[in-house]
Structure 1
């Protein structure tokens, strides 16, 4: 696997554009700096993403994306693994080209299209494409990992360990205390969940692990969906990746968990997924129902996972986002759904 070139450039916030232009001179030396336009994308809540556009003498538009890692995100993300994953998945046609890396970020291919809305992921035409694309990704085999191990429990424990005992910001600390969900109870909920799925027979697959709506690009002209941002990609339990996607129907900035997919949509989604994953023309109702139960159990896991992540981000991120409020929304829906899901 050919490695992308690395440039010893550190992109700093107070000189973002100057640093990016310096990067472009290395990555695209033929681009005329006078014609380059940059646009800060606002969808992400982990990193800063900048779209760079150049127009050639022939009037052709060329694009690339510069992703600047968020402050202290190296605590959460194995950046070397991320780079390996992008390059591996690109070989399968499942990820964009990686053009270069720099000290605190990546330069990669721009995928034309639009990010998805709740209406899109509830549309059978589009959600079936997502189900098939996820199934294709789940069949990817890493050349090094002969016996894959799900990293869910170790990653969750890493997150919990990083959750601060107290926030330096007094406003954040008061908002956290208002949630009335201390770390001791978080650990108790994790232990209880782990015991509840201990006997599940689950496939371990190469998972995206962060398939929120902003990480899915729909190209209408090609009638195709593309997944982006593989920061959290790793081997994981099959139902977690699907459950995590279903929780993301609620959105990020304006969260509405009433958008969580109803059973009829889930069953159709899961049937489409299993047909592609198994490479068959028919699957039994029992197989679909089994996966449905497992996926809904892992909805609770997804909430605990991103709840912990949110508190870490609240302590360290420089991005203007209410991470404490996001955590509160996650744990509120966790307890709202827990009785019904536990009864499955």
Structure 2
């Protein structure tokens, strides 16, 4: 996410949050005035509104002023996930040293530690060094013993989102996106993919560049924003990350995906080799090839996942983004690539 211009704090930060922010700032000796909040809207968030808050320092020469993040939950987006479960995961990640600390909660959001690191950009995902760091971090993330039941969330979530989308979509939208066919498509994918997974684990499920931060000095990677996190097939998490390599949410048309940028076989193998080597052992060529094929098939699940998300978001989210246009961008490759990836005999229910 990137900073935009300063905004009027009275208009965007809830009163309850301002009280907590001022109390928090009053505990820091280097703050001139706890009431003097500088508020900056961060661009790139498509589920919540995120603001950077900072205060003037008593030491003007001090380069690093006190900063925190305020996350205001998007209205209507609780249809996508269990907010209480998301907070539990956030707190777990914080205790594991995997993400920012929780500094406070208010009715419509929370206050988070500001991480002194750079949010990645779209081109960063294609940088070989950064990509290898992400691959190793994903492996570390996937083996965390996350709280909650060890039940794969993907298939039930897809069916639940489909039901919500059907309830919200107009007749024209339902026809346009072929919603009446998707229940069987989800069953088809689960039948073809779920029984062949190499492993399951703690998955982020939304590793777009805006949810990845890097410390420029230590080169350490941090994953942030766990709204969609849960126990899942790790191949889905990786496939979803590959799909995000074709997106750039900071253009004039952020909903448009350039599939010419999808990583080629060599790039995918390099990423997956690093991922497997990060476990501390040398994978066989057969193991690598199996993961390459499995991940590629899970791109289909990623397209359905975010396609349905786009339809629902169009009806419940007020953030300025062409959600329906984005949904079309995700469904199109699903239909065009399904037979190729599943094989003609496996691409239909019997």
Given candidates 13, 20, 24, the residue that maps to 1:23 is: 20
Given candidates 186, 199, 223, the residue that maps to 1:203 is: 199
Matches within 5 A, 1:243-322: 243-251=239-247, 252=249, 253=254, 254-276=256-278, 278-280=279-281, 282-322=282-322
Displacement of 1:74 after TM fit? 1.4
3-state DSSP class of the match of 1:52?
strand
TM-score, normalization by structure 2:
0.86
The alignment covers a number of residue pairs equal to 322
Q: Which residue of 2 aligns with 1:127?
A: 131
Matches within 5 A, 1:66-77: 66-77=70-81
Farther off after superposition, 88-97 or 132-141: 88-97
**1-structure distance, mates of 2:14, 2:151:** 42
**1-structure distance, mates of 2:207, 2:193:** 22
Displacement of 1:198 after TM fit? 4.2
3-state DSSP class of the match of 1:108?
strand
3-state DSSP class of the match of 1:161?
helix
Instruction: Give per-residue Cα distances to partners, 1:152-181, cap 9 Å, x unaligned.
Output: 11111111111044547xxxx75x36x733
Quick one: structure 1 residues 208 and 275, their matched pair in 2 at CA, closer, same or farther if it must change by over 3 Å? Answer: same
Quick one: structure 1 residues 275 and 48, their matched pair in 2 at CA, closer, same or farther if it must change by over 3 Å? Answer: same
Farther off after superposition, 130-139 or 190-199: 190-199
**2-structure distance, mates of 1:165, 1:309:** 13
Matches within 5 A, 1:74-85: 74-85=78-89
**2-structure distance, mates of 1:92, 1:34:** 32
**1-structure distance, mates of 2:318, 2:296:** 33
3-state DSSP class of the match of 2:269?
helix
Root-mean-square deviation (CA), in Å? Answer: 2.1
Q: Which residue of 1 aligns with 2:333?
A: 333
Instruction: Give per-residue Cα distances to partners, 1:274-317, cap 9 Å, x unaligned.
Output: 111x322x111111111111111100000001111111111111
Q: Which runs of 4+ in 1 moved over 6 A?
A: none
Equivalent pair of 2:105/2:111 in contact (CA under 8 Å): yes
Q: Which residue of 1 aligns with 2:212?
A: 216
Instruction: Give per-residue Cα distances to partners, 1:29-82, cap 9 Å, x unaligned.
Output: 345245421101111111100000123212340110000000111121211111
TM-score, normalization by structure 1:
0.87
Farther off after superposition, 85-94 or 319-328: 85-94
Displacement of 1:342 after TM fit? 2.0
Equivalent pair of 2:50/2:70 in contact (CA under 8 Å): yes
**1-structure distance, mates of 2:48, 2:263:** 28
Quick one: structure 1 residues 216 and 108, their matched pair in 2 at CA, closer, same or farther if it must change by over 3 Å? Answer: same
**1-structure distance, mates of 2:343, 2:56:** 58
5+ residue gaps, structure 1? 1-12
**2-structure distance, mates of 1:144, 1:193:** 25
Displacement of 1:255 after TM fit? 1.8
Quick check: 1:139 aligned with 2:129? no
Displacement of 1:112 after TM fit? 2.6
3-state DSSP class of the match of 1:197?
helix
Quick one: structure 1 residues 132 and 70, their matched pair in 2 at CA, closer, same or farther if it must change by over 3 Å? Answer: same
**2-structure distance, mates of 1:17, 1:292:** 45
Quick one: structure 1 residues 163 and 48, their matched pair in 2 at CA, closer, same or farther if it must change by over 3 Å? Answer: same
Quick check: 1:227 aligned with 2:223? yes
Quick one: structure 1 residues 106 and 283, their matched pair in 2 at CA, closer, same or farther if it must change by over 3 Å? Answer: same
Q: Which residue of 1 aligns with 2:43?
A: 42
Q: Which residue of 2 aligns with 1:239?
A: 235
Instruction: Give per-residue Cα distances to partners, 1:120-178, cap 9 Å, x unaligned.
Output: 11111000000011110111013664xx111111111111111044547xxxx75x36x
